[in-house]
Amino acid sequence: MSSPILHNPPSFFTILLGFPKTVFLFSQSDTVPILGPSLAVSMVLAGPTDPTAFICGFLWLEFHLLTFEIKNQMIGLEEDRLSKPNRPIVSGRISLESAQILYLCVGALSFLYSVYHRVVLCSAIYMVAIYCYNERGMAGNWFLKSFLGSFGYMCYCWGTTIIFDHGNDLSRTSIIAVAISGLVHTTTGHAQDFRDRFGDAAIGRKTLAILLPPRFARWSLMALVAAWTIGLIYLWNPPIPATLGFSILGCVSTVSFILDHSVEADRKSYWWYNMWLITAHFLPIFKRIAGTAL
């Protein structure tokens, strides 16, 4: 096996100058699939918020996402060399030792920030989940990967909603929406695995995109997205234009997964899937507009 890093570690001064870009590259690939849906549902559930609360919620979300990403990329070096060579560690922007220090600092900052905003339980559950996902290697199992990933998404929505809502507890409708977010990600989150299947195979990770026959894996994703589309329309009762737009996004993403199995096409299909996912997280707004609760 090749050595973990093939580049000469950069100096501390070089790391400091390029730190903002390094942080961005750590979470770049998950900006749309994680930040988008989490911010969408949090803004909907919390209602109108002020700029200070929004910035605090965004920073809380970014700190927690970054904590996960740093450790995940420290463990997945071989996978990143194959499919994501621009990430900070494998590209040589930051050494493994510096990444470990950054991970500990950001993790501590995330937890202290949660203490300040009184979302300690949410942060504690999240930290346990990502420890199991990364350090305990549970991401290597297709079910545990989806299950733990859904916990992460629920925590993102949970903590950010409370901060946007100035510390108020989640309402019954909010709890249902957050739980549904976790279920949607558990059942359809393997959409991301099609683009990463070669990297996952290289490190021995078993995902549904690898375990299932290719056509069945893609057609089953279409069935699940269709089922969730119908169910969420029934639950949140959006107007006809929103219903049509949401349905079209679901069709475009899943049909494109079926028509073209290339890695580049899967990346594009995954982008459409994320547009469907973000829209799904906006749908509870129609309950708020109608003034009804679940």
Domain limits, the chain: 19-290
Sign of CA dihedral 257, 31, 62, 73: positive
Check if the beta carbon of residue 160 is closer than 8 Å to that of residue 36. no
Structure confidence at residue 187 (pLDDT): 93
Angle (CA) 138-142-143 rounded to 5° is 85
Amino acid at 141: N
Amino acid at 233: I
C-alpha distances in Å from residue 36, one per residue of 28, 136, 181: 12, 28, 12
Structure confidence at residue 5 (pLDDT): 47
How many other C-beta atoms are found inside a 10 Å radius of the C-beta of residue 128?
12
> pLDDT tens-digit profile of 73-105?
998 887 788 778 888 899 888 889 989 999 999
203: helix, strand or coil: coil
- Cβ-based neighbours of 241, under 8 Å, separated by 6 or more: none
DSSP state of 251: H
Residues counted in the chain: 294
Structure tokens of 31?
A: 């900006």
Question: Of the spans 9-13, 39-43, 132-136, 223-227, which averages the highest pLDDT?
Answer: 223-227
> pLDDT tens-digit profile of 234-261?
999 999 999 999 999 999 999 999 999 9
- Cβ-based neighbours of 278, under 8 Å, separated by 6 or more: 32, 36, 37, 40
Helix axes 142-164, 51-75, angle to 10 degrees: 160
C-alpha distances in Å from residue 10, one per residue of 75, 86, 97, 100, 244: 20, 16, 11, 15, 51
Per-residue buried b or exposed e for 1-32, using 16+ beta carbons within 10 Å of the residue's own CB? eeeebeeeebeeeebeeeeeebbebbbebbee
Task: Calculate the CA 56 to chain-centre distance.
Answer: 19
Structure confidence at residue 290 (pLDDT): 78
Q: What is the mean pLDDT of the chain?
A: 89
Structure confidence at residue 221 (pLDDT): 96
Which of 204, 193, 76, 91 has the alpha carbon at shortest distance from 146?
A: 193
Amino acid at 157: C
What CA–CA distance (Å, rounded) separates 91 from 74? 12
Architecture of domain 19-290: Orthogonal Bundle (1.10)
Structure tokens of 157?
A: 């929505």
What CA–CA distance (Å, rounded) separates 26 from 18? 12
Sign of CA dihedral 23, 28, 30, 32: positive
> pLDDT tens-digit profile of 165-200?
999 999 999 999 999 999 999 999 899 999 888 877
pTM here is: 0.86
